[in-house]
A = this chain, B = another copy of it.
Amino acid sequence: MGIIRKTKSVETLIQLFNQGEEAYSGVYLVDRLRKKMNKTTVYRILERLEDEGMIHSFTDNDGLTWYAKCNGCSSSHHADLHPHFKCRNCGKTVCLNLDIAIPSIPNRKVDSAEFLLIGVCEKCLT
């Protein structure tokens, strides 16, 4: 599961994620890498990178899965509690470097949370 061979496809994806805090949807990656690799390969590499703890994934308000580079999470600790911001104009989605206070709820155990903010990004505002 955790064993990763450094194939060209893997390198390509890792490089992509190393270029910033931007998140990419599975659909976007499959399309962008269409000429370089099969869509099955894209999804499988994403799965492996997530298992490794190199990236994390989350779901947006349309039900699509997004992937971004983790900032300090490992294979054991994947509870990324930072929020994500999605621009409803251009679709660009990023990780936000913010701490969220997880409300404690009586009689329930909270393990993780997904917090997606939707709005308009800097570029689309002007």
B108 touches A121 (CB 8 A): yes
A63 touches B65 (CB 8 A): yes
Given known A113-B116, A120-B111, contact A85–B64 (CB-CB < 8 A): no
B83 touches A103 (CB 8 A): yes
| Contact residues in B for A105 (Cβ distance below 8 Å) | 85, 96, 98, 117, 119
Instruction: Indicate the size class of the contact surface on chain A.
Output: 35 or more
Counted per complex, copies of this chain come to 2
Residue of chain B at shortest CB distance from A58: B61
Q: Is A109 an interface residue (CB 8 A)?
A: yes
Residue of chain B at shortest CB distance from A114: B116
Q: Is A118 an interface residue (CB 8 A)?
A: yes
Q: Is A110 an interface residue (CB 8 A)?
A: yes
CA distance A22 to B118 in the complex (A): 24
A interface vs B, CB < 8 Å? 58-65, 83, 85, 87-88, 96, 98, 100-103, 105, 107-122, 125
7 pairs, CB–CB < 8 Å, chain A vs chain B? A58-B61, A63-B64, A96-B103, A107-B122, A111-B118, A112-B119, A114-B114
